[in-house]
């Protein structure tokens, strides 16, 4: 039987942390545990360095001027975006905000890889290895497609749902009042517009109206 994953981080770690240590070990029942608290009485453990740009609500980065990356994973992003009818610039904006194009990124909540897939989301889209760039992009873009359909292309709600979960958006009837999510929505909107301009696409709507989901022909 495959090992279970318990992401205690989801409850224990503050979302504001951009970097820190996570301890990974296997308990007596064969369950893999991730925690930010150093476990006692555990002889064998692995220390994982957390890197999560999207988690840092106090970031001093100027998102209107920071360098863009239109080359990394270009073929895979373009392929998956075209398959799902999702704006390539939106995919790049999400990757930039989530992991800064680091395929080994790990968030305090246990989200992994370029598009920061949590294990339950990865399972929905049959992503076996979230640290594999191709698999991660495939799953992340499919998840964006689902959110675009669910929220009728409203970019604010789509990105809020990507960060906080679609149920939180539905529960609050809009962007949830979480600091991380509020900052994330603004950050992705800025990056989305900049990536569209960099890629030579029309600027998207960033207000409450429907957002451009797919690249124009």
Tell me the pLDDT tens digit for each residue of 142-171: 999 999 999 999 999 999 999 999 999 999
Residue of 84, 88, 98, 180 with catalytic role? 98
**98 annotated active-site:** yes
22 forms beta bridges with 48
pLDDT at site 171: 98
Residue 100 Rama label (left phi>0; alpha psi -120 to 50; beta):
left
| More reliable by pLDDT, 189 or 4 | 189
Q: Which residues contact 85 (CB under 8 A, 6 or more apart)?
A: 145, 213, 214
Q: How confident is the model at residue 141 (pLDDT cuts 50, 70, 90)?
A: very high
At 25-84, the pLDDT tens digits run 788 888 877 666 677 888 787 766 666 777 777 888 899 999 999 999 999 999 999 999
In this prediction, residues 204-211 reach a mean pLDDT of: 49
- C-alpha–C-alpha distance, residues 11 and 103, integer Å: 24
More confident residue, 207 or 98: 98
What CATH number has the domain spanning 55-198? 1.10.530.10
- In degrees rounded to 5, what are phi and psi of residue 118? -80, 155
Write out the residue limits of the CATH 1.10.530.10 domain(s) in the chain: 55-198
The alpha-helical segments, DSSP class H, found in 18-131 are 74-84, 88-99, 119-124
């Amino acid at each position: 039987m495959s090992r279970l994953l318990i992401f205690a981080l989801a409850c224990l770690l503050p979302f504001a942390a951009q970097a820190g240590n996570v301890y990974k070990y296997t308990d007596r029942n064969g369950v893999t545990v991730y925690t930010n608290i150093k476990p006692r009485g555990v002889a064998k453990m692995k220390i994982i360095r957390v890197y999560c740009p999207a988690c840092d609500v106090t970031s001093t980065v100027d998102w209107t001027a920071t360098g863009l990356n239109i080359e990394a994973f270009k073929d895979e992003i373009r392929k998956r975006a075209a398959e799902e009818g999702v704006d390539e610039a939106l995919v790049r904006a999400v990757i930039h905000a989530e992991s800064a194009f680091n395929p080994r990124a790990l968030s305090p909540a246990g989200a992994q890889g370029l598009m920061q897939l949590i294990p339950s989301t990865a399972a929905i889209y049959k992503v076996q290895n979230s640290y594999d760039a191709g698999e991660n992009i495939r799953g992340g873009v499919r998840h964006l497609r689902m959110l675009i359909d669910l929220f009728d292309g409203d970019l604010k709600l789509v990105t809020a749902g990507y960060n906080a979960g679609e149920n939180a958006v539905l529960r609050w009837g809009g962007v949830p009042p979480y600091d991380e999510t509020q900052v994330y929505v603004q950050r992705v909107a800025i990056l989305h517009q900049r990536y569209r301009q960099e890629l030579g696409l029309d600027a998207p709507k960033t207000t409450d109206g429907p957002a451009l989901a797919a690249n124009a022909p």
